[in-house]
Amino acid sequence: MTESLQSDLLFEAFETQRFRNNAETVLSRLEKHLADLSIRGLELTDPAVLTEAARSLMTSDRDRPTAFDEEQLAAIVDLYIRTGIQVHSPGYMGRQFSGVVPLSGVIDFVSSVVNQPSSFYEAGQLPNVAERIMADEFNRFIGWDPERFAMVTTSGGSLANLTALLAARNRAFPGFWARGNSALGEQVRPAIAVGADVHYSVARAAGVMGVGEDRIVRLPLDDRQRIDAALARPALDAAEEQGLTVFCLVASAGTTAVGAFDPLDRLADVARERGLWFHVDGAHGASLLVSDKLRHKLSGIERADSLTWDAHKMMFVPAPCTLLFYRNREDSRGAFRQTASYVFDERQDIYTAFDSGDKNFECTKRPMIMPLWALWAIYGKGLFAEKIEYLCALTQEAHAILEKENDFETLHHPEANILCFRYRPEGFGDADIHQLQLDIRNRIKSQGNFFISKVDVDGSAALRVVMMNHHINAGHFQMLLDEIRKAGQPQ
């Protein structure tokens, strides 16, 4: 009886030959896309025009399956590719996500088809084993006790920061999870200390957790845009005098704005003196740990209590893929304290010991570790180290080029692959420079040859490049400067 409810088109949608044909259609277009190394930025499309184009590719039959159209699929893929940021182009210098190592996209494709959510071992066996393997591999660079540390994957650095801060709060205030603020008493006002240039996700986490953005203690920065360790103690003393109970100090290993690395060793001293949880947001810069030449920038990382590491940034795999590390395994279980009979087993065995559902926010979680593990298994760390070292050296070269140009102003010495600067032609006073940078960035974006970003540095707008593509060279950067000069002419 039930067989009569299923049409032939339903079965055709799942046919393996159909799958092969679909894959070949998509593969041919992606191959062409990856082979195109022309200089191109972002071609913004009017949202109304794009909406109409997308709707025109949709079937008009809403009540039953329609026959498959290969040309329709090709048109959808072409539209998808054409309207996105061209992360594989030498013109892309704007954001911290990168073009992926193509093999990692292939593995991600496998993950999408086999569909094995990885918060529980029984649903995703290899992903859970791979997660443990990569935890051990990366801990060799962090330096924690291999018998005591823990790592869990989570969907993005913002969620990792929130999870770590929850663990920190629950350790400092054990009754908060169950009873909220009522567990603290009227005199206790939890607070989080951060660098003035910290990523906005930390302030957002404070709001989500009920700590409140007003209880973010912003520590002063030095002339390199890092937390000034000498001024951290007076700032914490002032917070205590205001009745705040700081329970966590957050440092950055590669700030989003300028790529600065806070002095982790000195800040670890401050945190230890005051009994604070020490969290390092290394979403961008933690990947430098895999480079023998650059690892020193994270000196002191072994003293952190937790570390956020985005592999979808400088490890060049599909987003999201974030690794959240804890120095002490017990702390990894402190962020969430719940029971649920339908997923959590009362008694652990050799299988459930690999489950991470009690340590991460997601119940259904993509097996995001698989592309990273596959690349590491096949290429080893050398592939990543070589690309990271090239990108950082390229950024140094770009800085040296700017230093020789009279109409440009450098704002910092780059520590990794992020560089901020301003175009300062003759005839523009300080009052006009801010708006000029904004105008230049928008004109560059609309022209479609390069894609760069902007950021406020010391209260004034600056142009920002992030070197994420090993096909970029100094010549491309010189071309960008020429385009900036043209965009900076009076309109």
Tens of pLDDT, residue by residue over 189-214, are 999 999 988 888 888 988 888 888 88
Residue 202 lies in domain: 116-369
389 occurs within a structural domain: yes
Pairing, β 306-310 against β 277-281: parallel
Q: Contact, 377 vs 107, CB < 8 A?
A: no
Quote the pLDDT of residue 340: 45
The predicted model gives 262-266 an average pLDDT of 97
The secondary structure of 261-318, three-state, reads ECCHHHHHHHHHHHCCEEEEECCCHHHHHHCCCCHHHHCCHHHCCEEEEEHHHHCCCC
Output the pLDDT for position 82: 93
Whichever domain contains 204, its CATH number is 3.40.640.10
Last residue of a domain, one of 84, 101, 124: 84
Query: Which of 41-50, 56-65, 297-306 shows the lowest per-residue confidence on average (mean pLDDT)?
Result: 56-65
Where residue 436 sits, what CATH number does that domain have? 3.90.1150.10
Residue 187 clears pLDDT 90, i.e. is over it? no
**Strand, helix or coil at 463?**
strand
Give dist(CA 338, CA 96) in Å, integer: 35
Q: What mean pLDDT is predicted for residues 395-412?
A: 97
What does the alpha-carbon distance between residue 227 and residue 221 come to, in Å, rounded to a whole number?
4
What pLDDT score does 346 carry?
Answer: 62
Instruction: Kindly report, residue by residue over 99-147, the tens digit of the pLDDT.
Output: 999 999 999 999 999 998 888 878 889 999 999 999 999 999 999 999 9
Q: Is the pLDDT of residue 292 over 70?
A: yes
Instruction: Judge whether 161 lies within some domain.
Output: yes
Q: 65 and 156: one domain? A: no
Residue-wise pLDDT tens digits, 72-101: 999 999 999 999 889 999 999 999 988 999
* Distance separating the N- and C-terminal Cα atoms of the chain: 72
Q: Is residue 409 part of a domain?
A: yes
Task: Tell me the percentage of the chain whose pLDDT exceeds 90.
Answer: 74
With cut-offs at 50, 70 and 90, classify the pLDDT of residue 165: very high
How many CB atoms sit inside 10 A of residue 244's CB?
20
129-134-135-141 Cα dihedral, nearest 10 degrees: 160
Mean pLDDT, the chain, as a whole number? 91
Predicted pLDDT of residue 4: 58
pLDDT at 342: 40
Does residue 334 carry a pLDDT above 60?
A: yes
Q: Is 33 part of a structural domain of the chain?
A: yes
Average pLDDT (253-268) is 96
Please confirm whether the linkage preceding 320 is cis (ω < 30° from 0): yes
- Higher-confidence residue of 343 and 17: namely 17
Q: What percent of the chain has pLDDT over 70?
A: 96
Least-confidence region, from 64-68, 151-155, 354-358, 410-414: 354-358
Given a cut of 60, whether residue 2 has pLDDT beyond it is no
- The reply to whether 59 falls in a domain is yes
Q: What pLDDT was estimated at residue 345?
A: 58
Question: At residue 393, does pLDDT exceed 60?
Answer: yes
Residues 148 and 293 in one domain: yes
- Assess whether 343 and 388 both reside in one domain: no
Task: Kindly state whether residues 122 and 32 are assigned to the same domain.
Answer: no
Domain end point (choices 369, 394, 410): 369
Query: How high is the pLDDT of residue 354?
Result: 74
Answer yes or no: is 377 within a domain.
no
Contact 346, 355 (CB under 8 A): no
**What angle is formed at CA 21 by the lines to CA 20 and CA 23, rounded to 5 degrees?**
65
Q: Is residue 464 part of a domain?
A: yes
Regarding whether 70 and 208 lie in a shared domain, the answer is no
Q: Do 295 and 273 belong together in one domain?
A: yes
Q: In this structure, are 303 and 393 located in the same domain?
A: no
Do 231 and 306 belong together in one domain? yes
**Does any domain span residue 252?**
yes
The pLDDT assigned to 341 comes to: 43
Last residue of a domain, one of 345, 369, 393: 369
* Whether residue 343 has pLDDT greater than 60: no
Pair 362, 253 in one domain: yes
Domain count along the chain? 3
Residues 188, 322: one domain?
yes
Q: Is the pLDDT of residue 456 over 50?
A: yes
Tokens of 386: 């070589």
Phi, psi of 470 (to 5 degrees): -70, -5
Q: Are residues 450 and 325 in the same domain?
A: no
Question: Are both 320 and 194 inside the same structural domain?
Answer: yes
Token readout for 77 is 């893929």
Beta bridge partners of residue 194, listed in sequence order: 218, 250
Q: How far is CA 170 from CA 72, 164, 381, in A?
A: 52, 10, 36
